[in-house]
Chains A and B, each alone.
Chain A
Amino acid sequence: GQNIDQPTEMTATEGAIVQINCTYQTSGFNGLFWYQQHAGEAPTFLSYNVLDGLEEKGRFSSFLSRSKGYSYLLLKELQMKDSASYLCAVNQAGTALIFGKGTTLSVSS
């Protein structure tokens, strides 16, 4: 079977750092994506990890541990515009993309 777990909701304040975790159990794991989705809009790409380790891209970083079936998205220097849903998605067997249910992040001032 396949299972991807993320927290449903998180809250944080402007300027803070937040870590959104994702654990997965899937067959044929080929990599893990993070997407951002603002309310009423389409998802947009943030990062893709295939190998273990940390990938940094500006204020956003993503980490993957294949042996632990674990990833996290780290958002630094939070801004109000970072209020959105963050979707973890697994590339399964190079053919399908399986999404978690998403984490809704609320950033307050």
Chain B
Amino acid sequence: EAQVTQNPRYLITVTGKKLTVTCSQNMNHEYMSWYRQDPGLGLRQIYYSMNVEVTDKGDVPEGYKVSRKEKRNFPLILESPSPNQTSLYFCASSADGPEYEQYFGPGTRLTVT
């Protein structure tokens, strides 16, 4: 089944404790991205990647890191999480860029206390 998977689905952590949210797609997609979704603010793009080893900042990259060492994986790293990073995070992928349909993962609900 073609899909985007994210892990974990739910995470409660404390300020400053490094964490990684994994994202993997099995559709051989070139383009992958991370979003956060907050009430009243909608979906905002954190980082995107056009291809392996090519990543770029979206609208809200501060406090986040990403890497794209393999085509299928695009982990999101929070080196020192803070409470303002409490949010619902979505990973998405598409065939060859943002002009193609985005396939979203199921979401990761992160709470930083």
Chain A interface (Cβ < 8 Å from any Cβ of B): 30-31, 33, 35, 41-45, 48, 50, 87, 89, 91-92, 94-102
Query: Chain B: how many interface residues by the 8 Å CB criterion?
Result: 24
Are A99 and B107 also in contact (CB < 8 A) when A45-B102, A48-B99, A94-B97 are?
A: no
* A52, chain B: closest CB distance, angstroms: 17
Would you call B90 and A43 a contact (CB within 8 A)?
yes
Would you call B45 and A101 a contact (CB within 8 A)?
no
CB-nearest residue of chain B relative to A40? Answer: B107
CB-nearest residue of chain A relative to B59? Answer: A98
Interface string of B37-75 (1 = CB under 8 A from A): 000111111001010000010110000000000000000
B56 / chain A contacts, CB cutoff of 8 Å = 95-96
A96 / chain B contacts, CB cutoff of 8 Å = 45, 48, 56, 58-59, 98
Would you call B101 and A48 a contact (CB within 8 A)?
yes
A-B contact count (CB 8 A): 62
What would 28 A/B residue contacts be, using CB atoms closer than 8 Å?
A: A30-B99, A31-B99, A33-B102, A35-B102, A42-B106, A43-B104, A45-B102, A48-B101, A50-B99, A87-B42, A89-B43, A92-B98, A94-B97, A94-B98, A94-B99, A95-B48, A95-B56, A95-B98, A96-B48, A96-B56, A96-B59, A97-B48, A97-B98, A97-B102, A98-B59, A100-B42, A101-B41, A102-B42
Q: Is the interface of A mostly helix, strand, loop or mixed?
A: strand
In the assembled complex, the Cα of A30 lies from the Cα of B96 at a distance in Å of 14
In the assembled complex, the Cα of A98 lies from the Cα of B58 at a distance in Å of 9
Which 10 pairs from chain A and chain B are nearest by CB?
A101-B42, A42-B104, A99-B43, A45-B101, A97-B98, A91-B98, A99-B42, A102-B42, A91-B99, A43-B104
* A56, chain B: closest CB distance, angstroms: 17
B48 / chain A contacts, CB cutoff of 8 Å = 95-97
